[in-house]
Amino acid sequence: MGERSWLNGAMHAGFFLLLAASAARVVARHELTDRLTVAALAVAALLALLYGAGVVLWRRLGPALPVWLGLVIGVAVALVLLAPSFAWCAVPLYFLCLRLLPTIGVVTAAVLLTAAVVAGQVRIATVVDPSLVLAPIGIAAIITAVFWALQYEIRQRQRLIDDLVAARDSLAASQLRAGALEERGRLAREIHDTLAQGLSSISMLLQAADRSWGTDRSRALAAQAAAVADENLAEARRFVRDLTPARLEGRSLADALRDLCADTERRSGLRTVFREEGEPAVTGEAAAAVLLRVAQGALANTVEHAAASEAVVTLSHLGDAVALDVRDDGRGFDPDDLDPDGAAASGRGFGLPGMRERLARVGGSLAVESRPGEGTALAASVPLGEEP
């Protein structure tokens, strides 16, 4: 019977019960030899067959259901006029009219059924009083009002459900877009901090090897370039899988930073000093990975842009936070040359914005101080226990 099948079933069962009760009353109060009684029972049987056929073929009738209901109402009106005892059968028919017919159809059917009930009651009454007219009208009005109120509530609830579904779909689409943007940003940061910096190192090593080509130094520089290429290939595979940086595998953040400083000094010639201050504390995996990437980016910027002779990397354990400072004695820059996001006004570079985005994911912050000719100091801080 489709949706609301329980309501349809209750209406159909109620109709057949009322029809059977009305027929029993007619039989109990009238002789079966009376022609009107026989005619009423015959019409009741016809009504039962017609109604039953509609119940069985409910789904197949589909758009034709109002036509079937019109036939049922016509037979029911004739039956009530023959035997007013069948007036109770009009009640479930009211509900069917409200469910299946448009407003004009409901009004027409209600008028016909109510008029038939009133006419039947008046015909058999010994004393005609207003209740015979007002009671059927009142019952029809109450049924109509209650049903329309329920229908209104159902429509309002369905509208609310539709709005919620639309909002859910919109939220899911927004989350999908946000997830795609976040993944794009992650890949951009990883590419900048691994591939771009690695390619820059390889380029400088190969340029140095070219200047001293044919010597032992050129071969050593070429070997370093190959090592950097292998290291960055491994890093690329790891960040595609969103894995921990290779330097941190089975090692502490301090050990990874110490190794990074040694590699930077060996490959670039920049004197790179690592210091650790405070009582070492356990740093979360995500925070350690972020701080290592920040240090990589800061040292890469120092090597490529600062023309510095020395860089100092300091890891400080502050009890409730861990801080990373990278200072160099290079040429420095004017902070006013940076846009509000921290990128170079020329549009070159993803370093500082990428660092800030990384730190923000673990609740950290970044501060940069620099002046032309006075070097650059970068300070990153991450609270302990803060994970994305």
Predicted confidence at residue 381, as pLDDT, reads 92
| C-beta of residue 137 within 8 angstroms of C-beta of residue 113 | no
Look at residue 164 and tell me whether its pLDDT is greater than 70: yes
CA distances 4 to 64, 145, 151, 154, 337, Å, are 19, 20, 12, 12, 69
d(CA 314, CA 326) in angstroms, rounded, equals 6
| C-beta of residue 148 within 8 angstroms of C-beta of residue 109 | no
Over residues 58-72, the pLDDT tens digits come to: 888 888 988 998 899
CA distances 133 to 81, 129, 215, 310, Å, are 15, 8, 120, 106
Read off the amino acid at residue 145: A
Over residues 212-269, the pLDDT tens digits come to: 777 777 878 787 777 777 777 766 666 655 555 667 777 888 998 998 899 888 888 8
| C-beta of residue 149 within 8 angstroms of C-beta of residue 114 | no
Q: Which of the two residues, 358 and 46, has the higher pLDDT score?
A: 46
* 49 CB burial (10 A radius; 0-12, 13-18, 19+): exposed
Q: Which of 319, 321, 293 is nearest to 378 (CA)?
A: 293
How crowded is the C-beta side of 12, counted as CA atoms within 13 Å?
Answer: 18
Q: Which of 290, 232, 220, 213 is nearest to 256 (CA)?
A: 290
Percent of the chain with pLDDT over 90: 15
Look at residue 347 and tell me whether its pLDDT is greater than 80: no
Beta sheet of 310-317, edge-to-edge order: 271-277, 310-317, 321-328, 376-383, 365-370
Q: Which of the two residues, 134 and 79, has the higher pLDDT score?
A: 79
The two structure tokens encoding residue 130: 């207003």
- Indicate the pLDDT class of residue 192, thresholds 50, 70 and 90: low
Predicted confidence at residue 316, as pLDDT, reads 93
| Count of beta carbons in the 10 Å neighbourhood of residue 344 | 15
Predicted confidence at residue 1, as pLDDT, reads 40
How crowded is the C-beta side of 320, counted as CA atoms within 13 Å?
Answer: 1
Strand pairing class (310-317; 321-328): antiparallel
The two structure tokens encoding residue 255: 């050990």
pLDDT average, residue stretch 366-376: 90
Contacts of 236 (CB under 8 A, 6+ apart): 194, 195
Over residues 1-18, the pLDDT tens digits come to: 444 677 778 888 888 998
Q: Which of 38, 44, 42 is nearest to 15 (CA)?
A: 44
Predicted confidence at residue 386, as pLDDT, reads 52
| C-beta of residue 350 within 8 angstroms of C-beta of residue 365 | no
Residues of the chain with CATH 3.30.565.10: 251-388
pLDDT average, residue stretch 202-207: 77
Over residues 287-298, the pLDDT tens digits come to: 888 898 899 889
| C-beta of residue 387 within 8 angstroms of C-beta of residue 307 | no
d(CA 301, CA 286) in angstroms, rounded, equals 23
| C-beta of residue 69 within 8 angstroms of C-beta of residue 96 | yes
pTM: 0.46
pLDDT average, residue stretch 110-133: 77
d(CA 185, CA 196) in angstroms, rounded, equals 15
Residue indicated by tokens 């032992």: 216
- Indicate the pLDDT class of residue 326, thresholds 50, 70 and 90: very high
The two structure tokens encoding residue 44: 């009741």
Percent of the chain with pLDDT over 70: 84
- Identify the architecture of domain 251-388 in CATH: 2-Layer Sandwich (3.30)
CA dihedral 188, 192, 196, 198 (to 10 degrees): -130
| Average of per-residue pLDDT values in the chain | 81
Strand pairing class (271-277; 310-317): parallel
- Indicate the pLDDT class of residue 196, thresholds 50, 70 and 90: low
